[in-house]
Structure 1
Amino acid sequence: EEPYVAVVYSDYLHLVCSSCFHEDAPLLIRKCKEAPLEACKGCHEVYYCGSACQQNDWKIHEAECKFLSTAVAVPSDIVRMIARLLIRRKRGDHDTFRAYNGRKFDDLMDHRSDFENMGANFDKVFNDTKNYVSIDYMVDREEIVRYVGKLLVNQFAIRGPVDTCIGNGLYIGICIFDHSCQPDLTRRSIGSKMILRSQNREQTLNKNLTVSYISPLACTEERRKLLRSNPFFFHCKCRKCEDTEQDGYARSIKCESCEGGICLVKDDSAPLRCMKCGITSSITHEEANKWNADVAIVEYFGSEDCALFIRKSMHIFSPPNMRDLAKKQS
């Protein structure tokens, strides 16, 4: 799915095409011509692969270009996202645009009451937006607050080829899926497009499937803490979070002292102790969590890199953990 609106993070504006989101970096293959990115000749702030990408983005950037040209500085990413929503609103897209599953922008939840209960203050975002866009695009404060809520709750980070977050995108169709720390589907960015993948090749797409809103590789306590906070506001009760024993096995490491011993990596900070021989491991929780975090590489890189990573990890991870890695590779 292509994003309804998307922005390249301010720090990457000169490195990433604001249309197709492919990076201008050595040895990276972009789908557009192999040439340095070109700055927009109007605002000189956003960059494109070439005229084709600029023309593709012009329906939004035509107005945005004027905003950027008169701005004292490039505004925050959230303000630029709001501005792009305001441009689409003026074009009538909020009423006419439909995602692949029929959803439209007005169908998105804004969780306004949750933000207000947290004491969120939207005055700065409203004032910054008001100072950035021209008056004929501006709406009242209540509408801006709804826009902010919808963006914070529903947007996804767009990742580059080397797993760097390079921007945010609002995917109206994909954001219908609920969260699970053991998701049915995984997300991957290819340029600005968001791709959903399933390990089950016979899986048909339906709204009851799940994705992970955060890294499923973090420990249960950390995952639940993130999901309880802004902008998710819920206590996760998925199978992985409820079954802490299974979570410990999935992140476990080998015992250094005995054959077949396993040290579970759980949420507490107690020393890692072998379930078989009872000897405490010299590996700390921090080190074990770091190794488990590195597993993220298998989600974003090719099968050859996955296989290499698994071979290098065989002396660290336990058999249950290795089986979980093998599933991720497939």
Structure 2
Amino acid sequence: MRETAAMEDLQAALKDRNLTVSTVEDKGRCLLATRDFYPGDVIISQESYVCVPNNSSVETRCDGCFATSKLKKCSGCQVVWYCGSTCQREEWKLHRLECEVLSRQEKNKRTSVTPSIRLMVKLYIRRKLQSEKVIPSTATDNYNLVEALVAHMSDINEEQLLLYAQMANLVSLILQWPEINIKEITENFSKFACNAHTICDSELRPLGTGLYPVISIINHSCLPNSVLVFEGRSAVVRAVQHISKGSEVLISYIETAGSTMTRQKPLKEQYLFTCSCPRCVKVGQSDDIRESAILEGYRCKNEKCCGFLIRTNDGKGLQCQECGLVRDMEEIKLIATEVKSLSEDKASKLHTTGNYQEAVAVYKIIEKFQSKLCHPFSISLMQTREKLLKLLMELEHWREALAYCKLTLPVYQRVYPAVHPLLGLQYYTCGKLEWYLGDTEGAVKSLTRAVDILRITHGTNTPFMKELLMKLEEARAEASYQQSSKDK
């Protein structure tokens, strides 16, 4: 009954935003547009019901704004951090109770409370405070919407169920409220797994985790018509295509660069469904096989050929579908084993321990092997070059970083739609490096491409976008000045 009333209230609230909740066969609830939306339009925005920063032993963030500087621990619980009195004041109504329950724990147990456990503790505290009218609830911000989320309990395996039950028991021990229902908490952990969102900054770097019950109604597609970005802790969904009246609003839950099989794996494991979007229904068809062989397969033996390879009938080799040359399977396995060994044993350890110079040397060896092994549009090769780009930027080796950035761009252009935040951000990185190195003309082109994409996905009012637009104007002014100097 409560759930029905909550959905009726939600429908009324969404009507003003030109949206409605509907039900689609085999997909359940979905969000439909009741008017046309165009690229760049904000479809919906929502504050989190609960959220936490991804604090760890190596990095801490403010609980209010997720900042990392000038942090001080809460003097009561010694677990939560704040950047100042403003954030602490804004969070106090909720943190007052959290501080109380965390302070009861032994000191060593307090420090081992994970972000997932904190998220669940905060969920029940928020529910309690809303039920007691200490903090307000609205049609788009109430616990009934959390109750309405699908838990997929019948789809999770026994091992996962046991883990959720153990985590639920820990939450119960922390709260020590007699009315707490461990079974319900277990179900909510399952809901978190397939409904919580990773909160990212404007450059898509993860900062924390939040639960946005209305945003969670939006279904997934590997060819989405909308994108989810964050402005602070607010989740904002913007159209990246024309969405006609009556059409479903769709975002992507996963990284979409990869073969159908690669995309299906996390969707099945984490979100417990099989995608049937226009990209995924092509699985096993010739176009899908070709794309998989290019993005995740091997290169032709002839380095001048860009053909894709398919396994031979005897299984002993892979044959180029362009020129017919065959690569021996054993040779491929040897190189692949060497690459895996270097990646797992050396490069990642050097990277995480801050030995950037040595990590660059190892990644360059890996890239050399992958260049001989993988198709030029290989995702793995792109990811290695992306790691080199980031490490070289850390080391301030700008010219070399730009070279690797330019190598990644053709792959980004292939694997992402024309309007995708990751493609826009890669153009932005390229433009910044070009400008710093004095290639003003190149910088203007790259930054213009970045703005063309990111003003649709990010809007124009965030500090990040204002800075980007300012950079572009400065680059244009500099290019104009250089041109006028040449003309004289």
Partner of 1:52: 86
**Equivalents in 2 of 1:6, 1:145: separation in Å?**
18
Instruction: Check conservation: 2:308, 2:320, Cα contact below 8 A.
Output: yes
Aligned length: 301
Partner of 1:61: 95
Helix, strand or coil for the counterpart of 1:7?
A: strand
Instruction: Check conservation: 1:220, 1:247, Cα contact below 8 A.
Output: no
Residue 242 of structure 1, aligned match among 261, 281, 297: 281
**Equivalents in 2 of 1:207, 1:115: separation in Å?**
31
The answer to whether the aligner puts 1:277 opposite 2:277 as a matched pair is no
Letter in 1 for 2:119: M
**Equivalents in 1 of 2:205, 2:404: separation in Å?**
19
The answer to whether the aligner puts 1:124 opposite 2:166 as a matched pair is yes
**Equivalents in 1 of 2:161, 2:273: separation in Å?**
17
**Equivalents in 2 of 1:54, 1:207: separation in Å?**
42
Partner of 1:135: 177
Letter in 1 for 2:172: K
Alignment CA distance shift 1:149-1:119 (3 Å): closer
Alignment CA distance shift 1:286-1:221 (3 Å): farther
Instruction: Check conservation: 2:386, 2:408, Cα contact below 8 A.
Output: no
Q: Residues 1-330 of structure 1 correspond to what in structure 2 (within 5 A)?
A: 1-11=46-56, 15-24=60-69, 36-72=70-106, 73-74=109-110, 75-92=113-130, 96-99=137-140, 104-115=145-156, 120-121=161-162, 122-135=164-177, 138-160=179-201, 163-200=204-241, 202-203=242-243, 208-229=248-269, 231-244=270-283, 245-246=287-288, 248-249=290-291, 252=294, 257-258=303-304, 261-263=306-308, 274-279=320-325, 282-284=372-374, 288-293=378-383, 311-313=406-408, 317=411, 321=414, 324=416, 326-328=418-420, 329=424, 330=453
Instruction: Check conservation: 2:229, 2:236, Cα contact below 8 A.
Output: yes
Deviation at 1:209, TM superposition (A): 1.6
Instruction: Check conservation: 1:13, 1:45, Cα contact below 8 A.
Output: no
Deviation at 1:193, TM superposition (A): 2.0
Deviations 1:220-244 (A, max 9, x none): 2222122222x42112222222224
Helix, strand or coil for the counterpart of 1:96?
A: coil
Letter in 1 for 2:408: S
Helix, strand or coil for the counterpart of 2:180?
A: coil
Q: Which runs of 5+ in 1 are unaligned?
A: 25-35, 298-306
Alignment CA distance shift 1:248-1:133 (3 Å): farther
Q: Normalising by structure 2, what TM-score?
A: 0.52
Letter in 2 for 1:284: C
Helix, strand or coil for the counterpart of 2:373?
A: coil
**Equivalents in 2 of 1:86, 1:13: separation in Å?**
28
Instruction: Check conservation: 2:55, 2:61, Cα contact below 8 A.
Output: no
Instruction: Check conservation: 1:97, 1:104, Cα contact below 8 A.
Output: no
Q: Percent identity?
A: 24
Alignment CA distance shift 1:168-1:161 (3 Å): same
Letter in 1 for 2:249: L
Deviation at 1:251, TM superposition (A): 8.2
Letter in 2 for 1:49: C
Instruction: Check conservation: 2:225, 2:249, Cα contact below 8 A.
Output: yes
Instruction: Check conservation: 1:2, 1:192, Cα contact below 8 A.
Output: yes
**Which has the larger displacement, 76-85 or 87-96?**
87-96
Instruction: Check conservation: 2:77, 2:100, Cα contact below 8 A.
Output: yes
Letter in 1 for 2:187: R
